[in-house]
Each structure stands twice: as C-alpha cells, then as structure tokens.
Structure 1
C-alpha cells in the first residue's frame, strides 16, 4: 500500500470534502481517502502509486484545484 498526500485548494465545507473524497475514491486501486478540511491536505491510500494526471483530473472533476508541491 502507498499513501500519498496532496494539497487541494478551494475546499470550504463538508460538501467539498465529500466531492473530493468521492472522485478520488473512484480512481482504480484507491482504498482510502482522508481529507483534512482546515489545511486542505488529502491523504490517498492506494495499492500502487497513482498517476499524478489522474489525481489532478479527479480533483478538477470535483471542482477544486490540486496545488503543486
């Protein structure tokens, strides 16, 4: 298992957390998504390392912005 941490910009409420979690959970191999609303940190646990483009696309689909580290 691999856990990767991302920073997502624009989340302000529980609905935001739900939208981001739902989109990221739909990615192949993802087993867990933990979102910390206050900091914008998102920890994604998956079977293998995720394609950064797929993560960005999922966050975009949810309506938010993935911030580059």
Structure 2
C-alpha cells in the first residue's frame, strides 16, 4: 500500500512539473522577445514623452525657484 501511494505521488508530482517548466521557459523568452520588440518601437515614442516629463519637472523646479526668489 505504501509503495503504491509513493509511486502514485511520484508519478503525479513528476508529470505536472515536467511539462510545466519547459512550456513556461519557452513561452517566457518568446514573450520577452516580443515585448522587447514592441517596447523598442515604443521606446522612441517614449523618449518624446520622457522629454515632456522632463519639461514638467523643469517647470516645477522653476516654480520652486520663483517661490524662493519671491521670498
């Protein structure tokens, strides 16, 4: 009875994990590559957004400087 239970657990435990890791590992790199490609294209557009953000930060910094000047 013990051996039977052990074998069953071993088989069950070995079966699910074995197919899962390979599938995940293969899917992960593919998704990463695809995501990287999309991100790369968006990175160029993102640069413009980053510049806008920098401008906003500059304005905020300027506002603080103005406050100091007013003081």
What's the TM-score bracket when you normalise by the shorter of the two chains? under 0.3
Name the structure with the higher helix share: 2
Name the structure with the higher strand share: 1
Rg bigger for which structure? 2
Structure 1-normalised TM-score? 0.25
Structure 2-normalised TM-score? 0.25
